[in-house]
Amino acid sequence: MLQYLEDSAFSEWARGESLWGWPFALTVHAWGTAIGIGGSGICGLRLLGFFRTIPLTSLSRLTPVVWVAVVLQVCSGFTLWMTKPSKYVTDGAFLIKFTLVCIGVLVTWFYFSTLRRESPEWEAKGVISQRGYRFVAATMALWAGVLVAGRLTAYLGQLYAQ
């Protein structure tokens, strides 16, 4: 099946040297990374006490921005993956990054629903719950892991070995 995917017209297009294959997908992936991790990071920093002029109850407005970024990441990431699926499925760094992405998306889901539910109370009391702090720590650690593993995928393992 992986060979079939690799021989497909879409894979050839993504591998090709046209501007619309790998370079475009990688550019979208970089934007998605900035918007998604940036959006989630702004919420995290606010909950940690920075930017106190931003009301806690308004942080949930970033939720759709982060989910749009996740969709961009899945589409652009799939396009990059399609260039050499049989190599990616056995690449340790890619598998670690992909696992962290799946856990990160799940944790982000619970993080934002907690934020939506509990932020009025946090705002009124002026204190964030322990649960809120745990979500900030977990999302920051997971997205940092995704960034490092994503960047190192090109250097660890045999993906680009001559």
Residues in contact with ligand HEM by the rule CB under 6 A: 26, 29, 33, 36-37, 70, 73-74, 77-78, 80-81, 88, 101, 146-147, 150-151, 153-154, 159
Indicate the burial class of 52 (C-beta count within 10 angstroms; 0-12, 13-18, 19 or more).
exposed
Q: Burial-class residue 125 by CB neighbours within 10 Å (0-12, 13-18, 19+).
A: exposed
CB 16, min distance to ligand HEM, A: 16
Q: Helices 63-81 and 22-47, interaxial angle, to 10°?
A: 150
CB of 36 to ligand HEM, least distance (A): 5
- Whichever of 5 and 57 has its CB closer to ligand HEM, that residue is 5
CB of 77 to ligand HEM, least distance (A): 2
Rounded to whole angstroms, how far apart are CA atoms 28 and 99? 21
Please tell me the distance from the alpha carbon of residue 75 to that of residue 57, in angstroms, as a whole number.
31
Nearest CB to ligand HEM, comparing residues 47 and 93: 93
Q: Tell me the closest approach of the beta carbon of residue 135 to ligand HEM, in angstroms.
A: 16
How far is it, in rounded angstroms, from Cα 137 to Cα 66?
Answer: 17
Cβ closest to ligand HEM, residue 14 vs residue 59: 14
In this complex, which beta carbon is closest to ligand HEM, that of residue 69 or of residue 115?
Answer: 69
